[in-house]
Amino acid sequence: MNEVKTATRGEQPGTDTRRSVLPPVDVFEDAEGITLLADMPGVPKDKLELRLDGDALHIEGAMAQLGPEGLDPVYAEVSVPLFKRTFTLSRELDVSKIDANLKDGVLILRIPKQAHAQPRRIEITAG
């Protein structure tokens, strides 16, 4: 599971100057919360960062460097993309209980709704 970092006010997001790519994302909602699936091909867990800044969720991930480990390219025709995406989260969501999982290049985020926002059944008594 990846850790979601909370940014403090005035803190600047990552300072990477590479051109970023919007990862394709699917969002599903059910009675208990939302599930977000983001395609992050080639992004290892250690190069993926999730941050909360107020009600904004920031997703950033860099692909693993192509080529032999420990060597930096002098010249490269293929640049390593940086995936970036930001979402504004509803206040009905319980951001303290976000569950994040990275598997086979897909980031899966499960964000439950707060208890007061979830539907509940009311029992009826006869009397």
Encode pLDDT of 32-84 as tens digits: 999 999 999 989 999 999 999 999 999 999 987 777 777 777 877 767 779 99
pLDDT, residue 17, reads: 56
Name the token pair of 48: 């993926």
In a domain, 105, yes or no: yes
Q: Is the pTM of this model over 0.85?
A: no
pLDDT, residue 98, reads: 94
Average pLDDT of span 76-104: 89
In a domain, 6, yes or no: no
In a domain, 4, yes or no: no
In a domain, 14, yes or no: no
Burial class (CB in 10 A: 0-12, 13-18, 19+), 107: buried
Q: What domain range is 38 assigned to?
A: 21-66+77-117
Q: Which CATH number belongs to the domain containing residue 92 in this structure?
A: 2.60.40.790
In a domain, 62, yes or no: yes
* pLDDT higher than threshold 50 for residue 3: no
Distances (CA, A) of 45 to 24, 29, 36: 18, 25, 17
* pLDDT higher than threshold 90 for residue 115: no
Query: Which has the higher per-residue pLDDT, 125 or 127?
Result: 125
Number of domains in the chain: 1
Can you list the positions of beta strands (E) in the chain? 4-6, 20-21, 25-30, 33-39, 48-53, 56-62, 82-88, 99-103, 106-112
In a domain, 104, yes or no: yes
Encode pLDDT of 7-27 as tens digits: 444 444 445 556 788 999 999
In a domain, 127, yes or no: no
In a domain, 2, yes or no: no
